[in-house]
């Protein structure tokens, strides 16, 4: 079982509100399109950090935690999805991850809300924004890699392939780390 080691742990009090904002932005966008109020199909209302906290991290954690092995004095205890409900939960997480990759690729998205920077271990927002703008094709490639890993997860989930799901977890981790190392904390 592959378990992603987190280099950083970020918690934000606004995670729940970010999810609400993201959903309300999507709903607002849908109604505006129907009413002809906004011809631009892309809306960048939620920041990247809000998308990461509200959608990407919870969905990725769900997939990474789908297959685990706990070592105990009595032997190893393997946890794998077994019920239809458990597999459905995993599929929803993979679908959310695939859709979040598309949200990440929307041009002009603000990266972080004001006051949430952590200069002790990450670039500041201006530096990140400059990197994204200068390396837009790399940014899109990373978003596409995340999307591809999510779609591979869906294939493994639909096939109920436990070992394949574990392997794809490593691909998902690589997709995340590739982007983080280039755009979030490249000097660490």
Say yes or no to pLDDT of 54 above 80: yes
pLDDT value of residue 62:
96
What is the distance between the alpha carbons of residues 97 and 62, in angstroms, rounded to a whole number? 10
pLDDT value of residue 108:
87
Residues sharing a CB contact under 8 Å with residue 144, sequence separation 6 or more, in sequence order:
101, 105
How many C-beta atoms surround the C-beta of residue 42 within 10 A? 13
pLDDT band at 63 (very low <50, low <70, confident <90, very high): very high
What is the distance between the alpha carbons of residues 49 and 51, in angstroms, rounded to a whole number? 5
Residues sharing a CB contact under 8 Å with residue 66, sequence separation 6 or more, in sequence order:
80, 81, 86, 90, 165, 169
| Phi, psi at 78, each rounded to 5° | -95, 130
pLDDT band at 41 (very low <50, low <70, confident <90, very high): low
According to the 3-state scheme, what is the secondary structure of 149-187?
Answer: HHHHHHHHHHCCCHHHHHHHHHHHHHHHHHHHHHHCCCC
Say yes or no to pLDDT of 45 above 70: yes
Say yes or no to pLDDT of 22 above 50: no
What is the distance between the alpha carbons of residues 157 and 155, in angstroms, rounded to a whole number? 5
What is the distance between the alpha carbons of residues 111 and 48, in angstroms, rounded to a whole number? 5
Place of tokens 């992603």: 4
Cross-strand pairs, 69:
78
What is the distance between the alpha carbons of residues 35 and 23, in angstroms, rounded to a whole number? 18
Say yes or no to pLDDT of 31 above 60: no
Task: Reduce the DSSP state of residue 75 to 3 states and report it.
Answer: strand
């Amino acid at each position: 079982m592959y378990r992603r080691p987190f280099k950083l742990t970020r918690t934000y009090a606004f995670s729940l509100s970010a999810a609400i904002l993201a959903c309300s932005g999507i709903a607002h966008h849908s109604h505006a399109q129907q009413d002809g109020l906004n011809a631009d199909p892309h809306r960048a209302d939620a920041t990247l950090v809000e998308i990461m906290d509200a959608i990407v991290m919870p969905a990725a954690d769900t997939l990474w935690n789908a297959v685990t092995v706990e070592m105990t004095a009595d032997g190893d205890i393997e946890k794998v999805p077994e019920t239809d409900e458990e597999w459905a939960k995993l599929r929803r997480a993979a679908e959310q991850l695939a859709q979040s990759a598309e949200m990440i690729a929307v041009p002009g998205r603000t990266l972080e809300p004001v006051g949430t920077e952590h200069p002790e271990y990450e670039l500041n927002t201006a530096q990140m924004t400059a990197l994204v703008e200068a390396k837009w094709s790399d940014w899109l490639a990373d978003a596409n890699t995340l999307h591809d890993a999510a779609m591979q997860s869906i294939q493994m989930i639909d096939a109920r392939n436990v070992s394949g799901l574990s392997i794809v977890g490593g691909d998902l981790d690589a997709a995340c780390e590739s982007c983080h190392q280039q755009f979030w904390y490249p000097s660490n």
